[in-house]
Structure 1
Amino acid sequence: MTPQLNLVGLVVADMAATLAFYRRLGLDLPPEADTEPHVEYALPGGLRLGWDTVDVVRSFDPGWTAPTGGHRMALAFLCATPAEVDKLHADLVAAGHVSHKEPWDAFWGQRYAVVLDPDGNAVDLFAALG
């Protein structure tokens, strides 16, 4: 069998704060997940997002340290319209999350914005322009 991408895993410092961020993006995560050390969410199409606390990661990788110097990957969420990109970006920033890039019209034909989740991971918001 050819390996298939099935789960994107993120390491989190504060599970409740991280899940609150992803709930604002529309993921229906149950409140009781806030106290779990490992959480998974099935996305449409079969791909899953997973979150592990630092303690869980260090239980099997004791030398793990958080990366520094910027992100190497980003999660990108498709929005229905350019106005939704702007609204979602504004909602996340108003909730205290850091905007990495304010919404702009990208040369490749999309409205685009980047917000950082509570652990500094880049989360792109995008929609096709007109």
Structure 2
Amino acid sequence: MTFTELARCVQLSVSRCQRRVNELADSGVIRGYRGIVNAAAVGLGFEVVAFATLSRADAIHEFDAAIDAVPEIVEAQRLFGEPDYLIRIVAADRDAYQRLYDEQLSKLPGLRGLNSTIVMKEVIASRGLPLVRGHES
């Protein structure tokens, strides 16, 4: 969305809208900007959702650091209860995921179990928070 479009949606002048966006970024409300890349177009069209369970509670920080170091893990959330984590993983294909699993994922520190499922279809892509009303993308 351009500043002009955003300004119209929130009924501010473009200059005031730009200042407000900068203030939101400076205060940490806006954490950053990103482009959304078509994973299949860059050779990462195989997606897996995995659920990880840890063997011990004291492994949390080590596990967090270890999954952060795996570039193919594009999203991870620590959960209440079991499983302990929901992890989204991308790979080129099934064979590439198998290698990643065998060489890295199965060896994550404190891991008791990793249950995964292949994503069949992306129904809703990652999208922004529903904060602005009246704007059609």
- TM-score normalised to structure 2 length: 0.30
Higher RCO by CA contacts (8 Å cutoff, separation 6 or greater)? 2
Structure with higher helix content: 2
- TM-score normalised to structure 1 length: 0.32
Structure with higher strand content: 1
